[in-house]
Amino acid sequence: MQKIVGEMTFKKISILIVIALFAVVSACETIMPDEPAPEEVLAEPIEDLTPAQLNLHLQGDGEFARIFSQAEGLGPIFVQASCESCHIGDGKGHLFTALTRFGQYEQDGVTWNSLLNQGGPQLQHRSIANYPAEAIPNGVRQATFIAPNVTGLGFLEAVTDQTILDLMNEQALAGIVSGTVNYVDAPDFFTPKAHHIPNGQGQYIGRFGRKAAAIDLVHQTTNAYKQDMGITSDFDLQDPINYAVSGLSGDNVADPEIPAGTVNAVAFYIQTLKAPPRRNTNDPQVIAGENIFKQIGCENCHKQTLTAGPSIISEINNKDFHPYTDMLLHDMGPELDDGYTEGSVATSEWRTMPLWGLGLQKDSQGGTQFLLHDGRATNYNQAIQLHGGEADFARANYRQLSQAQKDQLFKFLDSL
Ligand code: HEC
Ligand code: HEC
């Protein structure tokens, strides 16, 4: 063998390599499954974007996938180096990429302190070379969060504050469940839209994040760049640092590390991701499951249909959509009370998780499902069994179902 190779010219070897590669590639083509149908894919732009909008969407898509290096400003402390590493394929995250947040109540037992001067509210457990990663201060409260999917959020962003407040009032009147909103301090860069309604203290309704602490997608994206990746922007010029050590320079990259345009492009990208598509809607089992879902009271919180307010994106503008959330926070009982919170929300309160995309999310979670804010449930039954507090009645109804009815309910959830 060696002798033959020795006699071959470089050119001949190259040709052989090319032929071998070609054989491998064609073999792959025959083994690889066809491209998935559009209704099986989460990460697609909504359909009727103008060419300029599609361009901005694609720019944001690139930035969402961009992996930051230390030279580009990553850190000095961070959790992951790209948005996509947690929101894989725009889908739900995994336990491996979960975030840890911490804080504590003040002496009064009512005012929540996010411990900004001790590195709160988020732990950055990784760091660049020669810089110590952060540790959680002693004696504080903490919770774990897995990444939600980011599709369809443009619709949720366009729901008017009035719609959310109306829903809250309807629930208070009906007396079955009693959702609330989280009023949060607006960051300096926040520009209210016509539909935003501040409260008496000039705070705005939060709608993104599991405690609803971010007002809009630019707010959420700015926080993600800083807290998750240690990337400063025109909107927030301060890198996260390790407060336990002093006298260390940061990442030695001039701030802002990215311009406002990049943050806006990424927010626009998320805004213009299509709503997760439904599947198997004609399957009798799915239809039966949907009826059960409504009968046992799940829809009180996981509201099937919401209506968007005005939007520059024509597919969103004043349109009905089906997220299966009321965007309100509910007391879920001791089962889901981690002792941690954000803003004025009680520690047992969580924003109703939108259920759209449930059936497609397993793909981004490595085949297993991780449900609830920290992924503690690995199937629908476990997730529902952990619904206490305001959802106690729905859980009690669920427990009365036969296994066949539960299976129908699960088929319905998988179709979302
Ligand atoms: C380390 C993992 C991680 C990284 C990196 C990350 N995220 Fe997230 N993301 C999360 C988690 C966890 C949540 C839920 C946070 C919460 O509930 O407050 C979240 C929430 C969100 C939400 C709100 C979703 C909703 O339904 O309310 C958006 C939008 C978002 N991220 C966008 C981004 C963008 C844009 C980037 C990059 C700039 C990014 N994320 C980077 C983990 C991550
Ligand atoms: C009182 C309001 C309320 C009711 C009623 C309710 N849920 Fe939920 N549901 C929530 C909240 C809030 C969460 C998020 C909890 C968390 O993040 O830990 C949630 C989470 C879920 C999840 C996990 C979603 C995910 O992506 O992690 C599923 C599945 C679910 N609910 C199904 C149901 C079903 C089925 C019913 C009816 C038996 C139901 N829920 C009734 C409020 C409610």
Per residue in 174-225, pLDDT (tens digit) is 999 999 999 999 999 999 999 999 999 999 999 999 999 999 999 999 999 9
- As given in the structure block, the two tokens for residue 236 are 């927030």
The region, left, alpha or beta by phi > 0 then psi within -120 to 50, assigned to residue 311 is beta
- Cα of 68 vs its chain's centroid, Å: 20
Q: What is the pTM of this model?
A: 0.91
Residue that is written with structure tokens 């457990």 in the block: 125
Q: Stretch 296-300: mean pLDDT, rounded? A: 98
For the cut 90, the answer to whether the pLDDT of residue 368 exceeds it is no
- Distance between CA atoms of 256 and 253, rounded to whole angstroms? 9
- 295: nearest Cα among 409, 172, 407, 384: 409
- 326: nearest Cα among 146, 144, 172, 149: 172
Ligand 2: which of 292, 338, 384, 387 to mutate, judged by most atoms within 8 Å of the beta carbon?
A: 387
Whether the CB-CB separation of 220 and 264 falls below 8 Å is answered with no
Distance 302 CA to ligand 2 centre (A): 7
- Distance between CA atoms of 102 and 136, rounded to whole angstroms? 7
Ligand nearest to the CA of 179: 2
Q: Stretch 127-135: mean pLDDT, rounded? A: 95
What is the pLDDT confidence band of residue 116, given thresholds at 50, 70 and 90?
very high
- According to the model, what pLDDT value does residue 246 have? 82
Distance 227 CA to ligand 2 centre (A): 27
Q: Atom 41 of ligand 2 has which residue's CA nearest to it?
A: 298
Distance 81 CA to ligand 1 centre (A): 13
- Distance between CA atoms of 181 and 76, rounded to whole angstroms? 34
Counting every residue written for the chain, the total comes to 416
Pocket of ligand 1 (CB under 6 A): 79-80, 83, 85-87, 93, 97, 99, 145-148, 150, 153, 208-211, 213, 217, 220-221, 224-225, 228-229, 266, 270
- Distance between CA atoms of 95 and 147, rounded to whole angstroms? 9
Question: Which ligand 1 atom is at minimum distance from the Cα of 146?
Answer: 12
Whether the CB-CB separation of 94 and 146 falls below 8 Å is answered with yes
- Distance between CA atoms of 35 and 31, rounded to whole angstroms? 12
- Distance between CA atoms of 73 and 252, rounded to whole angstroms? 8
Whether the CB-CB separation of 155 and 303 falls below 8 Å is answered with no
Question: Which ligand 2 atom is at minimum distance from the Cα of 375?
Answer: 27
Ligand 1: which of 92, 155, 218, 220 to mutate, judged by most atoms within 8 Å of the beta carbon?
A: 220
Q: Is 177 in the pocket of ligand 2 (CB under 6 A)?
A: yes
Ligand 1: which of 87, 223, 326 to mutate, judged by most atoms within 8 Å of the beta carbon?
A: 87
Question: Which ligand 2 atom is at minimum distance from the Cα of 210?
Answer: 17
Measured CA to CA in angstroms, residue 210 lies from 141, 182, 250, 327 at distances of 17, 11, 30, 10
What is the pLDDT confidence band of residue 18, given thresholds at 50, 70 and 90?
very low
Using only C-alpha atoms, the chain has a radius of gyration, in whole angstroms, of 24
Ligand 1: which of 80, 83, 85 to mutate, judged by most atoms within 8 Å of the beta carbon?
A: 83
Residue type, 357: G
Q: Is the peptide bond before 121 cis (omega within 30 degrees of 0)?
A: yes
- 270: nearest Cα among 360, 156, 361: 156
- Distance between CA atoms of 414 and 399, rounded to whole angstroms? 19
For the cut 80, the answer to whether the pLDDT of residue 1 exceeds it is no
First to last CA, the chain: 58
Q: Is 66 in the pocket of ligand 2 (CB under 6 A)?
A: no
Residue that is written with structure tokens 């109540």 in the block: 105
Q: Atom 11 of ligand 1 has which residue's CA nearest to it?
A: 147
For the cut 50, the answer to whether the pLDDT of residue 24 exceeds it is no
Q: 20-34, 98-112, 126-140, 386-400: which range is least confident on average? A: 20-34
- Distance between CA atoms of 316 and 45, rounded to whole angstroms? 12
- Distance between CA atoms of 360 and 366, rounded to whole angstroms? 11
What own/partner pairs with CB < 8 Å and gap ≥ 24 does 173-178 have? 176/297, 176/300, 176/393, 177/300, 177/301, 177/330, 177/390, 177/391, 178/330, 178/331, 178/390
pLDDT tens-place string over residues 54-89:
999 999 999 999 999 999 999 999 999 999 999 988
